[in-house]
Structure 1
């Protein structure tokens, strides 16, 4: 048997019906062996270094039917994406001492019995925390949604909602590298300034200051929108569809504006929106595109090292800060990719 040590964990206390509160989670200390139990083949034991705070987590706090991933179990640790160091392995693809990113627990140490969503973190020259964001799931999401789903062409017009977040900031920069005209929206003056001055968006606006989204979009896209990367859904999606050009494409990545509503906001007049303009609107899961991860790294790593794209993180220290960081995500408190540091390598 290996050494037994304490293991701080973030536990789900309550089923979440609408918005999530810090009291829906709690910190618990358990014990864990620093050795994989005998007979547990194909497993990986890791020390978690960084946790990724992502919008989809609230959906797993509910008993949703037909969701692409299982709901959390009450009184058990929350799980999500993170960056970790391998302490022990009975899996042929992972060796002790390697750095990895992928699905792990919101805890100091995790025994991952089926590491199907675990990837090596190969580049030591870039910040390890980037594997929660630009080099991890959000980066792959931006890449797959923009290039694979939307098939951009040089000179097209692109709109990105929630554009200063983990995914949106990358979509905008990818669109600029593809020779597109890009406008983003965000929820504060600080974030709008970041979009224009840090991330290189052509224009940006604060959606909270707009009385009519339709009017705002006509101001920035007088000739219409070719590509919309949707992170929010709801009324913004409806306004965008009214402003799409012929043969426009919409990538449905997330609908954060709807996650805390009991009655979801709908879209009307889809005939004129979609059929008349021959618009293609497609939802996607990043997990369907992970086979492209090596191709993605070939593109994005040189862009980072040559400082042709940039990335902003919002760092919270300590696993005990994870509940507050998650709650703040849904009110837009974070600026950039929200990351929790569990331990530093």
Structure 2
């Protein structure tokens, strides 16, 4: 067991795109659990788009010169509570650190399903998958045969949304991505019917070609021009599921999307956003839905795995630049299979 621990701190507020200089790795003595808590050695870390929003100054944002929170999966290595046993694998949200002292209330025991790797609890079985599942089943109320458009379709939520939509018998499935290679991957591997590179022209024109007969549902991870295009393409009683606004995370002064607001009324469009934290009671339902398909092979994992906690900041910045396909996860080097060579992003 290591004698020291590492944490990642945010040291400054970014103006625009963050860089490695906005973070610092801080070494300290290995913490010990106090009565009623346990020490967890982290094995996998999640880096997510919402971290960028929390880097800005404002309510609920990250404090400077303090450890960053985030989703993580780890192993209990010392315990002073009967509710957490040494060797147990748990999920918690004190993420960007090698070790965390947690209470039972701050953790969730992870069920072990045959053939399902631990990374799945940070991708399709974690907050990413729950976001996609809630968006489709509770917000959009997707019906078999509905035609669906997903922006940022190559990201973690985008790939999970595409996979889940296929299982829910979606009609035509179209998406947007940041490169031709990603678009090709989504069609060949994830099950999208058509995907356009949003760099190739006006979003309304590109969406019109990909979905010439319109769409019923839009799962929006981007906002901006693509949101405006989707409103124009929606049919009567269309639904917009607002998940995120990636297009504005690093350009907060960008103008808001411009669309014909009369469409909202005339086409009876419903637009609704949500926070996945308000739907944690659906976690077991997600397991019941997704795990059998993971075990059968009908549902595949879309993950970009980066090896080594020292690369957690690189992984986060790479995710913001769109260098990943699917959910990006950082893996402790002790978890690298012997046939794999450790690699950074």
- TM-score, structure 1 length as denominator? 0.91
Partner of 1:57: 51
- Alignment of 1:253 with 2:251, yes or no, is no
Partner of 1:193: 184
1:329/1:338 contact within 8 Å kept: yes
1:10/1:320 contact within 8 Å kept: no
Partner of 1:324: 314
What is the CA deviation profile of residues 128-164 of structure 1, one whole-angstrom value per residue up to 9, with x for unaligned ones?
1121111111011111111111101111100011111
Partner of 1:204: 195
Partner of 1:225: 215
- TM-score, structure 2 length as denominator? 0.91
3-state SS in 2 of match to 1:291: helix
Would the alpha carbon gap of residues 232 and 120 (structure 1) be closer, same or farther in structure 2, given more than 3 Å must change? same
CA–CA separation in structure 1 for the residues paired with 2:116 and 2:45: 17
Would the alpha carbon gap of residues 19 and 119 (structure 1) be closer, same or farther in structure 2, given more than 3 Å must change? farther
CA–CA separation in structure 2 for the residues paired with 1:93 and 1:205: 50
1:15-94 correspondence to structure 2 within 5 Å: 15-33=13-31, 35-38=32-35, 41=36, 43-65=37-59, 70-89=60-79, 93-94=83-84
Say which is worse superposed, 114-123 or 254-263, in terms of deviation: 114-123
CA–CA separation in structure 1 for the residues paired with 2:160 and 2:77: 32
**Aligned match for 2:6, one of 5, 8, 11:** 8
1:135-284 correspondence to structure 2 within 5 Å: 135-180=125-170, 181-209=172-200, 211-269=201-259, 271-284=261-274
CA–CA separation in structure 2 for the residues paired with 1:54 and 1:162: 13
What is the CA deviation profile of residues 197-248 of structure 1, one whole-angstrom value per residue up to 9, with x for unaligned ones?
1111111111112x11111111122221101011111111111111111111
| Number of equivalenced pairs | 334
CA–CA separation in structure 1 for the residues paired with 2:222 and 2:137: 19
CA–CA separation in structure 2 for the residues paired with 1:162 and 1:104: 27
CA–CA separation in structure 2 for the residues paired with 1:115 and 1:343: 28
CA–CA separation in structure 2 for the residues paired with 1:89 and 1:135: 26
1:50/1:343 contact within 8 Å kept: no
Would the alpha carbon gap of residues 257 and 144 (structure 1) be closer, same or farther in structure 2, given more than 3 Å must change? same
- Alignment of 1:296 with 2:290, yes or no, is no
1:47/1:85 contact within 8 Å kept: yes
Unaligned 5+ segments in structure 1 are: none
What is the CA deviation profile of residues 305-330 of structure 1, one whole-angstrom value per residue up to 9, with x for unaligned ones?
11112122111111111111111111
Unaligned 5+ segments in structure 2 are: 336-345
3-state SS in 1 of match to 2:190: coil
Q: 1:264 deviation in Å?
A: 3.2
3-state SS in 2 of match to 1:198: helix
CA–CA separation in structure 1 for the residues paired with 2:246 and 2:44: 23
Q: 1:279 deviation in Å?
A: 0.8
What is the CA deviation profile of residues 10-29 of structure 1, one whole-angstrom value per residue up to 9, with x for unaligned ones?
12111223211111112221
1:155/1:179 contact within 8 Å kept: yes
Partner of 2:101: 111
3-state SS in 2 of match to 1:18: coil
CA–CA separation in structure 2 for the residues paired with 1:230 and 1:199: 18
Would the alpha carbon gap of residues 215 and 19 (structure 1) be closer, same or farther in structure 2, given more than 3 Å must change? same
